[in-house]
Amino acid sequence: MVDGVTIPPSRGEPRGGPSGNEISRGGAVLTGAAPRLADIAAQASVSEATASRVINGKSGVASGTRRRVLAALDVLGYERPVRLRQRSAGLIGLLTPELTNPIFPAFAQAVEQVLAGHGYTPVLCTQLPGGATEEELVEQLQESGVNGIVFLSGQHSDTAADHSRYAELEDRGIPFVLINGYSERINAPCVSCDDRAAMRMAVHHLAELGHERIGLAIGPVRYVPAGRKAEGFTDALTGILGYTPSAAEQLVQRSLFSLEGGHAAAGALLDKECTAIVCGSDMMALGVVRAARERGLDVPYDLAVVGFDDSQLVAFTDPPLTTVRQPVKAMAAAAVGALLEELQGSPVQNTEYVFQPELVVRGTTAQARR
């Protein structure tokens, strides 16, 4: 134990460690073969003396350095000393859709990390099919005494949904912030990815490769991100490839934001002789790739595919997926920052903060065959 920090024993070694293996550094005592004070210092990229000062609660260490040492304790499996455990500044609810789409866990993790960095404890609520509704989850969060709420791609993004619950939250003085799905009817800050720009990037990339018959596989139009993507896509077809608005609209296939939805949309677009398909999500893109292979088509040479999100593992698919990346960490930081402004008494009105996406070219796009 290092002044209250528990050191796990090595495998096959008694919990007390071998005799004579007790090391003292600046008042911190470590017992057992591994890990040692040197391990903590190496993990945090600091000197052993600095690591010892942090562990023993001494002053004279920069806050950034202190955080690195504490993070090293967590990574190496230590139990932090009681005096080093930060008291929570409060609870923040985080409402997400189902977690089968990897982009939602990515956002959730990024938001939670930023909240933890400011001393807040996140309370994750997931909307599962057949489970509690968003309204029920919000009520449970209020009963838990949350200080604020982050809504990720929730009902706020559905133009056909009842948005009165958000006005009720405002009336009760509970600050909240929205991610992806701006609505003028909701008086709260919103952080969004520029969906229109994302589609322009994708179409421009495919047009440069010689593709002229490009389709869009997208989710239901009532969702704000889907509507914006469709607008950006049709504008890009008219501006870059000279389509008429009506002809461009014929190449938009609406389905579900899922692998199955992408598979279904791909069938309709392939029947329209598309040589490239842009998708509203990476999950849809994987469904498109599967549909193409079922027809004996080669991706990317017979059909080019572009996803959206750049969620985890799509760089390792076969072939690796070309996609448009959402700046998840920057968006999460902005969302939490806006919420903290509210909590600190500086209300932020229904302003939308729009972040630019990035095209990531990998293996599912190639020169069009003539």
pLDDT of residue 77: 78
Question: 126 with 98: CB under 8 angstroms?
Answer: yes
Q: What is the pLDDT of residue 346?
A: 82
What secondary structure does DSSP assign to 152-204, as a single string?
A: ES-GGGBTTS--HHHHHHHHTT--EEEES---TTS-S-EEEE-HHHHHHHHHH
Residue 124's DSSP bridge partners are: 94
CATH, range 90-193+328-355: 3.40.50.2300
Give me the pLDDT at residue 167, please. 93
Among residues 174, 154, 193, which one has the least CA distance to residue 329?
A: 193
| Phi, psi of 268, deg, nearest 5 | -70, -40
**Helix (H) / strand (E) containing 304:** strand 304-309
Contact 365, 304 (CB under 8 A): yes
Q: What is the pLDDT of residue 116?
A: 85
- Residue 2: its pLDDT value, please? 44
Give the global pTM: 0.79
Q: Name the pairing type of β-strands 352-355 and 190-193.
A: parallel
Cα separation, 53 vs 46, whole angstroms: 11
Mean pLDDT by 10 residues, the chain (370 residues): 41 36 37 65 91 84 84 79 68 92 94 89 89 91 94 94 92 95 93 98 98 97 96 98 97 95 97 98 97 97 98 94 97 96 84 97 93
Q: Which numeric CATH code is attached to 22-84?
A: 1.10.260.40
Where in the chain is CATH 3.40.50.2300? 90-193+328-355, 195-326
Please state, in angstroms and rounded to a whole number, the distance separating the CA atoms of residues 177 and 350: 9
CATH class of 195-326: alpha beta
| 173-197 pLDDT, tens digit each | 999 999 999 999 999 999 999 999 9
307/278 Cα distance (integer angstroms): 6
- Return the ∠ at Cα 187 (arms to 185 and 189), rounded to 5°: 115
